[in-house]
Amino acid sequence: MTDLAPDAPLEKPRDVLLHVINLKKYFPIRGGILNRVVGAVKAVNDVSFDITRGEVVGLVGESGSGKTTVGRTVLKLEKPTSGTVDFDGADLNRLTPPMLRSYRKRMQIVFQDPYASLNPREKIRTVLGHALAVHRIGTPADREERIVALLEQVGLTGDYLDRFPHEFSGGQRQRIGIARALAVEPEFIVADEPVSALDVSIQAQVVNLLSDLKDKFNLTMLFIAHDLAVVEHISDRVIVMYLGRIMEIAPTAALYGRPNHPYTKALLSAVPNPDPGAKKDRIILTGDIPSPINPPSGCVFRTRCPMAIADCANIVPVPKEIAPGHFSACIRTAP
């Protein structure tokens, strides 16, 4: 069996595009008269994972588990406290700003809030044109044609070019955000809860659009969400996080069919079943998620875990391989 120990990450396979090793992101807390650092919010704590080319990896967990911080940190929108983010063989943390700029073209993000991510004073023509101009894609003369093509790829038309963001519905604004991410022809996209702010009927349209675009352009994607049904539909593998740490990693079918970690089982038990007659054992987690300022010792999930024993307070479990490609960080369920 293989351990994903903090000091012994897996060797990177050849087809891996993103290789994250022991990633940590702590946000300092300042206080006192001198505004000194008096603590830290441990948003991400020793996270390691790989994403292969052309793969969609879902990242799930409760609010406050560190999902969005992972996505922003791997794109260098947040500076990591420590750890390595290897993108196609380059450690992004060691790149100078001019070098990093060339990698920005290859990595893009779709933000959670489709309205806040768009400048309300700019027409869509300008919003999409900025990305092309910054990365010097095409000539000024042919950029409008490229912008129209981008809109058509996401199910809109060139008639929308001179409209402002407030003139669109939420689903249309999210499509524009996707078009902006695609404008620079990236290889890797972080989709940060791209459907959480949308109506259920619109969510399916956007998820299907992302799935189609992934196949069409062979995109690699980190899909962040708290809706496990959506993640199951679009992901090849799933990472489950809790309080800044990884609890379980598995291929989608294995995770949903044979969950191993108690936290994963609790999350899946809360997914609504469309069959009203189906019986389901609901696992109720007591208490609230602890503060990332002072997380529990040992296993961070132990304070809410129905299987916790005394050793859980002293041992920090690392993800162990319990089946091919299936890792679980639990001293009681993992061999």
**65 pLDDT above the threshold of 50:** yes
Q: How confident is the model at residue 8 (pLDDT cuts 50, 70, 90)?
A: very low
Quick one: pLDDT at residue 99? Answer: 86
Quick one: pLDDT at residue 285? Answer: 85
Which residues does 156 contact at the CB level (< 8 Å), separation at least 6?
172, 175, 176, 179
Q: State both tokens at 292.
A: 């990332």
Quick one: pLDDT at residue 296? Answer: 94
Q: How many CA atoms lie within 13 A of 137 on its CB side?
A: 21
- Please state the rounded mean pLDDT for residues 300-311: 93
Quick one: pLDDT at residue 286? Answer: 82
- Please state the rounded mean pLDDT for residues 157-176: 92
Task: Give whole-number Cα distances, 85 to 47, 148, 193, 262, in Å.
Answer: 11, 34, 21, 29
- Global pTM? 0.90
- Please state the rounded mean pLDDT for residues 94-100: 87
Q: How confident is the model at residue 41 (pLDDT cuts 50, 70, 90)?
A: very high
Q: Write the pLDDT tens digit of every residue in 49-63.
A: 999 999 999 999 998
Quick one: pLDDT at residue 277? Answer: 66
User: Out of 7-16, 144-153, 281-290, which region has the weakest mean confidence (pLDDT)?
Assistant: 7-16
- Please state the rounded mean pLDDT for residues 142-152: 91
Q: Write the pLDDT tens digit of every residue in 245-297.
A: 999 999 999 999 999 999 999 999 888 776 666 666 788 888 788 999 999 99
Quick one: pLDDT at residue 109? Answer: 94
Quick one: pLDDT at residue 333? Answer: 79
CB 86 within 8 A of CB 166: no
DSSP 8-state assignment for residue 310: G
Quick one: pLDDT at residue 114? Answer: 81
Task: For the chain, state the CA radius of gyration.
Answer: 21
Q: How confident is the model at residue 314 (pLDDT cuts 50, 70, 90)?
A: very high
Quick one: pLDDT at residue 9? Answer: 43
**Which of residues 64 and 287 earns the better pLDDT score?**
64
Q: Write the pLDDT tens digit of every residue in 218-233.
A: 999 999 998 898 999 9
User: Out of 18-27, 28-37, 183-192, which region has the weakest mean confidence (pLDDT)?
Assistant: 28-37
Task: Give whole-number Cα distances, 34 to 3, 30, 31, 37, 95, in Å.
Answer: 43, 9, 7, 9, 33
Q: How far apart are alpha carbons 209 and 92 in whole angstroms?
A: 29
Closest CA to 111 of 171, 178, 25: 178
Quick one: pLDDT at residue 4? Answer: 56
% pLDDT > 70, the chain: 93
Quick one: pLDDT at residue 113? Answer: 87
Quick one: pLDDT at residue 140? Answer: 80
Quick one: pLDDT at residue 14? Answer: 58
Quick one: pLDDT at residue 10? Answer: 46
Burial category of 23 from C-beta neighbours within 10 Å (exposed 0-12, middle 13-18, buried 19 and up): buried
Strands (E), the chain: 16-31, 36-52, 56-60, 82-87, 90-91, 107-110, 188-192, 220-224, 237-242, 245-251, 320-323, 326-328
Quick one: pLDDT at residue 13? Answer: 52
Q: Domains along the chain?
A: 16-269 (3.40.50.300)
Closest CA to 86 of 52, 55, 125: 52
